[in-house]
Amino acid sequence: MIEARGLTKRYGDKVAVDSLSFTVQPGRVTGFLGPNGAGKTTTMRMILGLDRPSAGSVTVKGMTFAGLYSAMREVGALLDATAVHGGRSAHAHLLCLAQTNGIPRRRVDEVIGIVGLGDVAGKRSKGFSLGMSQRLGIAAALLGDPDVLMFDEPVNGLDPEGIRWIRLLMRSLAAEGRTVFVSSHLMSEMENTADHLIVIGRGKLIADCPMAEFIADATAQAAVVKTPDGQLLAEAVAAAGGTVERDEAGELTVRGLSAERIGELSLAHGILLRYLAPARVSLEEAFMELTADSVEYQSKMEG
């Protein structure tokens, strides 16, 4: 379990993380979403004690990171897959990490097997592809068999097979009752992986809710309608507090009302509906809309 309370990080005048409070629960995959520059990595660095919070606190299993009895047995993290000494072999890299916490040597070979780096374990990591480096970083995170795992943008540089592999890995880690906290700036990466979402923008909390609720909220309040009585429907919808848009093909998009409510309205007003369906707002769109105000460096070309 990870608990942040009023967590804040300032760099001079710039606020990277702005009084964040959230709890990451065990037994599920929690997605940590936000546009680039939203403060995800800074938050994770503070969890690991690499950065000191300017205010507030964050604890892992009720302790500050530095206060944990055996850090590697409690928390495993992949923050930056390239943060290894490239001149060292994968095996030596993992061994020197394991030794700090008195983790037996056989566990090094075990995690090398888990991530599938057996063939290159003796090679210097300098020559590794980004995908191989990610696997090495994941092996390091798994070394202590920890209860809490954090991955910062873990699918960066992975091929589709690698992405599938890491999704399954995260799901199985969570199914074992571990806390799995994984960041991404892409909504689509989370769709099949996360059970719960924490969304931030410009360092502030935007949403903290189950995945299903996030999806439901995004799609509930819009519907596509086809009807010969467009004018009548528009009036009925407006009276009920919704808005209607007509596209060139004559399809109506109703916003602010659920499909069920529109069905009830049309029955009450005797309006014939030829088609009624909840609008398919993609998660990507919902996420973009939610974080639109908080994208830090919006492209000037847009618009």
Partner 1 sequence: MTTAAVPAVPAVPAAPARTRAVPPAPRRPGLPGTLHSELTKILSVRSTYWTLLAQAVASIGWAVLFCAGTVAHGAGQDFNAAQASLAGQVALGELIIVVLGALVITSEYSTGMIRTSRAVMPRRGVLYAAKAIVFAAVTFTVSLVASFADFFVGQAILASKHLNTTLTQPDVLRAVLLSAAIVTVFGLLAYGTGALIRHTAGAITSLIGVIFLIPLLAQALPTPWFQALQRWLPGGGALSPIASSAPPHSPYLFSAWGEFAVFCGYAVILLTLGAWSFLRRDA
Using the minimum distance from each CB to partner 1, give the nearer residue, 30 or 266.
30
Q: How far apart are CA 3 and CA 60, in angstroms?
A: 7
CB 275 within 8 A of CB 225: yes
Using the minimum distance from each CB to partner 1, give the nearer residue, 58 or 271.
58
Using the minimum distance from each CB to partner 1, give the nearer residue, 25 or 226.
25
Using the minimum distance from each CB to partner 1, give the nearer residue, 97 or 158.
97
CB 198 within 8 A of CB 208: yes
**Which residue is associated with the tokens 């769709």?**
191
CB of 302 to partner 1, least distance (A): 26
- Show the tokens assigned to 226: 């086809």
Torsion angle of alpha carbons 222, 226, 229, 231, nearest 10°? 40
Using the minimum distance from each CB to partner 1, give the nearer residue, 29 or 237.
29
Using the minimum distance from each CB to partner 1, give the nearer residue, 118 or 210.
210
- Show the tokens assigned to 51: 């950065």
For residue 181, the surrounding DSSP H or E stretch is strand 179-184
CB of 79 to partner 1, least distance (A): 6
**What DSSP assignment string belongs to 33-62?**
E--TTSSHHHHHHHHTTSS--SEEEEEETT
CB of 55 to partner 1, least distance (A): 16
Binding site for partner 1 (CB under 8 A): 22, 25-28, 45, 48-52, 65-66, 68-73, 75, 77, 79-80, 82-89, 92-93, 95-104, 107, 110, 140, 143-145, 175-177, 195-196, 207-214, 217
CB of 241 to partner 1, least distance (A): 20
Q: How many other C-beta atoms are found inside a 10 Å radius of the C-beta of residue 274?
A: 8
**Which residue is associated with the tokens 């909840």?**
278
DSSP-assigned letter for residue 241: T
CB of 160 to partner 1, least distance (A): 24
CB of 110 to partner 1, least distance (A): 7
